[in-house]
Amino acid sequence: MKAVKILSVIVVILAIIGVGIYHFGTKIASDQLVSAVSDQLESSGEAEEIRTAIENDPELKKFVEEGKNVDEGTLPFTTKEEATKTLVSKFGIGNLKDIQTQVQNGTITKEELMAEVQSKLTEEEILALKVIAYKELNKE
């Protein structure tokens, strides 16, 4: 009986530690990912290329502008960091890197990318991403 109690306590402690590692590990990974991607985009000039590409593509421009007049109080997240944490938890870092590579190489179409996003995210999460994208594209 005493061994069962000790084993139960150990299992509970390990579960708490596991949840803590998952929560803080995901936060740390998402913060590092946001920082690395932001730095890479700004230093390489790709951020301006992305802005230009969106401005020149009416479909993408319309998609992003859907985030213009949204009540942010109803969204599941409102910052880049929270968005990244959500994306990391839903897609995984490896899958996000694969998607990034496919986009850079042109081996994935907009339709395929949107299908992938819609299969993993809720409508509210997609709307929150639109709001963040709109804010990022229109800040100066």
Quote the tokens at residue 67: 């985030």
Q: What pLDDT does residue 46 have?
A: 65
51 versus 91: the higher-pLDDT residue is 91
HSE of 115 in the Cβ direction (CA atoms, 13 Å)?
Answer: 5
> What is the spatial distance between Cα 30 and Cα 105, in angstroms, rounded to a whole number?
24
* Whether residue 87 has pLDDT greater than 60: yes
The three-state secondary structure class of 67 is: coil
Contact of 30 with 22, CB cutoff 8 Å = no
- Residue 76's pLDDT is 92
Domain total of the chain: 1
Distance CA 16, CA 10 (A): 10
Range of the domain at 19: 2-137
pLDDT digits (tens, 9 = 90+) for 13-65: 888 888 777 777 777 776 776 677 666 666 666 667 777 777 777 887 787 78
Q: Which residue has the higher pLDDT, 43 or 10?
A: 10
pLDDT of residue 60: 76
Neighbour count for residue 99 (Cβ, 10 Å): 17
pLDDT of residue 51: 75
Concatenate the DSSP letters of all residues of 13-74 into one string: HHHHHHHHHHHHHHHHHHHHHHHHHHHHHHHHTHHHHHHHHHHH-HHHHHHHHTTTT--GGG
CB atoms within 10 A of CB 75: 19
Confidence of residue 121 (pLDDT cuts 50, 70, 90): very high
What's the mean pLDDT when you consider all of the chain? 80
